[in-house]
A and B are shown apart, each in its own frame.
Chain A
Amino acid sequence: MTAIDPSQLAEAREAKRTRRLTRINKAEGWFKVIGLPFMAPLLRAIAGDDPRGQMKLLWQTLFVPILSILCFLGLWAVLAPKVHTSLGTIPGPAQVWSQAVALDAAADREAERRVAFYERQEERNAKLIADGQRDKVQNREYTGRPTYYDQIWTSIKTVFMGFVLATLVAVPLGIAAGLSPTVNAAINPLVQIFKPVSPLAWLPIVTMVVSALASGDGGMSRSFIISAITVTLCSLWPTLINTSLGVASIDKDLVNVGKVLKLSPWARVTRLVLPSALPLIFTGLRLSLGVGWMVLIAAEMLAQNPGLGKFVWDEFQNGSSDSLARIMVAVLTIGIIGFLLDRMMFAIQNLITFSDKR
């Protein structure tokens, strides 16, 4: 048996600690990007790096936000029962939570029903086949009520459809406007006029046009198309404006390099213009997705697209004693999903953004 030198052991431990801290430092940027800024100081404190200093950071990044949320919940719980409406008092956090649980349970029940429906159908068909009545076999789709999760998913699909359409229009148009002052002069007045228009003003026009052009039975429902296009019309502008700004403000020296290299027009756009405008294009896209998500709820309410907007509207019309609590569940869901969408775009933006230093 060899004796273990305690100083060597300590050295190895120290090296391990340094490695761990380097890894935490590297991950710190990502924690900030995904909205968990308290992770780095927390891990560092656990790893034993200046715990006292880390506590200060933790206080700001973790405890203060938690305290403020608790304060908000407390105020809400105290004040809500004092407001009387035709549907009873405003629900407090507890009632809203119980409605969230109820919506989840309803979704579970719906899923069970769906499974049971298909089981019955298969059983029936198997029996018919066994009896030699193959021509009587029928396969029907289950047509139950959409669950809360279905509605969330519909909203996300709709907003992305509108967002992708907006991107496909805004980015090329923005590049053209940024490259050519003439194009910019041509589209600028239109942008200025249409940018402030509310989705509620677009919706009737979009509804009429879509109703005239689309039959609505080609896989996508009319209400889906109407909501998505309304999102497109309202979320177009931030991307368009930021793209043209990003393209127009390319470093003059880099433009000169492009000239000396005699890049073809295509290479100029793909190798020079797009990469250098990318950070601003993504700023625009992030703003656009935020606007789109906000607009979507209003559009769904009026277009009756079966997403979160319709859920809120239906609950409002429904007017049961649980309605207000359910609407609040929807409000919180909308907020959290909006936050997640923004974080997602921010993460992508961070991945592709380069430092300004040349």
Chain B
Amino acid sequence: MAVLELSNIRKDFGSQTILNGIDLAVEDGEFVAILGFSGTGKTTLINLMAGLEKPTAGSVTFRDKPVTGPGPERGVVFQSYALMPWLTVTSNIALAVRSAMPKLPAKDLAARVQKYIKMVGLTHAATRRPAELSGGMRQRVGIARALAMDPEILLLDEPLSALDALTRGNLADEIEAIWEADRKTVVLITNDVDEAIVLADRILCLDPNGTMGAEFRVTLPRPRGRTAMNHDPAFKALRAEVTGHLIAAGAHATE
């Protein structure tokens, strides 16, 4: 059953059409990656799913109900982390938990916050503020914040693209491990082919003209640690195929 469905979406900014004729259904428990060059409307697409923006035409439905605005059942991890700079790691996550579960007693709330801080490995930094954390640590807080709200679907908007290559790889592996344990429905926006293949069940390419391009199923067995993948022939073949499609679509757009 599709959890999140987009049908025939168009999104204009002024006279410019960013997205056109997008049809997309995300199944329950599925990890979908949306892959595209920068400027193809990836962030706009996830904002539509989150309810932060409204489509010009077409409809977004979540569990068969139309999406009218954002809500805690659709957790978002932002590219720029978007942590409150005046709050500690604990308080940042507690703020989210309190809004998502207003009836939770204070003791359970604290325990829940602790659990997710531990899950992303930041127990030692729980009392620090975002300015005292590295980029990777900040994004871990962002992920913990989104997970602690217990959303039905997790929307990741290029969560790793502001990080350096090494941190990026490590955090991608960690996201996979967390997802393995939780099996939440996830939509990941990315411009990194390797990242999409390591993490996703299904890869959708967003073409530069704002339409949906090719779709790839990823059937590689999990866990797919990044280092192991580097020598896997199936991984290499898929990477070549996806990259080939992206380059062809990009070339077509610039003609």
Contact = CB atoms under 8 A, between A and B. Distances in A.
Interface in B43-65: 50-52
Contacts of B76: 256-257, 260
Residue in B50, B95, B129 whose Cβ sees the most chain A Cβ within 10 Å: B95
Residue in A254, A256, A261 whose Cβ sees the most chain B Cβ within 10 Å: A261
Interface string B201-240: 0000000000000000000000000000000000000000
Contacts of A253: 78, 80, 82
A170 to B, nearest CB: 22
B50 A275 contact: no
A263 B99 contact: yes
A272 B74 CA distance: 20
A262 B70 contact: yes
A256 B80 CA distance: 12
Given A261-B95, A271-B95, A356 B78 contact: no
A276 B87 CA distance: 11
Contact of A260 (B50, B80, B83): B50
B70 A259 contact: yes
Nearest to B145: A257
Given A354-B131, A355-B131, A261 B82 contact: no
Interface in B80-114: 80-87, 95-96, 99-100
B4 to A, nearest CB: 15
Nearest to B95: A271
B71 A257 contact: no
Nearest to B87: A275
Contacts of B80: 253, 358
A194 B70 CA distance: 41
Interface in A212-257: 251, 253-254, 256-257
A257 B72 contact: no
A contact face: mostly helix, strand, loop, or mixed: helix
Nearest to A279: B86
A357 B85 contact: yes
Contact of A261 (B52, B83, B99): B99
Contacts of A254: 82, 84
A357 B70 contact: no
A252 to B, nearest CB: 9
Contact of B85 (A256, A261, A356): A356
A129 interface: no
A27 interface: no
A267 interface: yes
**On chain B, which size bracket covers the interface?**
20 to 34
Contacts of A356: 85, 131
A96 B149 CA distance: 68
A261 B78 contact: no
B130 interface: yes
Interface residues of A, number: 21
A133 B149 CA distance: 79
Contacts of B41: none
A259 B52 contact: yes
Nearest to A259: B70
B138 interface: yes
A272 B96 CA distance: 12
A358 B69 contact: no
B36 interface: no
A355 B85 CA distance: 7
Interface in A312-358: 354-358
Nearest to A272: B84
Contact of A354 (B96, B129, B149): B129
B75 interface: yes
A253 B159 CA distance: 13
A357 B82 contact: no
A275 B86 contact: yes
A357 B130 contact: yes
B70 A358 contact: no
A213 B85 CA distance: 47
Contacts of B51: 259
Given A253-B78, A358-B80, A358-B130, A259 B69 contact: yes
A233 B72 CA distance: 44
Contacts of A278: 86
A275 B130 CA distance: 15
A261 B130 contact: no
Contacts of B87: 275
Nearest to B129: A354
A257 B86 contact: no
A261 B138 CA distance: 18
A175 to B, nearest CB: 17
Given A261-B96, A262-B70, A256 B131 contact: no
A261 B92 CA distance: 12
A358 B99 contact: no
A214 B27 CA distance: 72
A358 B95 contact: no
B244 to A, nearest CB: 34
Contacts of A260: 50, 52, 70-72, 74-76
Nearest to A355: B131
Residue in A260, A272, A355, A356 whose Cβ sees the most chain B Cβ within 10 Å: A260
Given A262-B70, A275-B87, 4 more contacts: A261-B96, A261-B149, A271-B95, A358-B80
13 contacts: A253-B82, A254-B84, A256-B76, A257-B76, A260-B52, A260-B70, A262-B72, A267-B99, A271-B95, A276-B86, A278-B86, A355-B129, A356-B131
Which 10 residue pairs of A and B lie closest in terms of their CB atoms, listed nearest first?
A355-B131, A253-B82, A261-B99, A357-B131, A354-B86, A259-B70, A275-B86, A260-B70, A354-B85, A257-B82
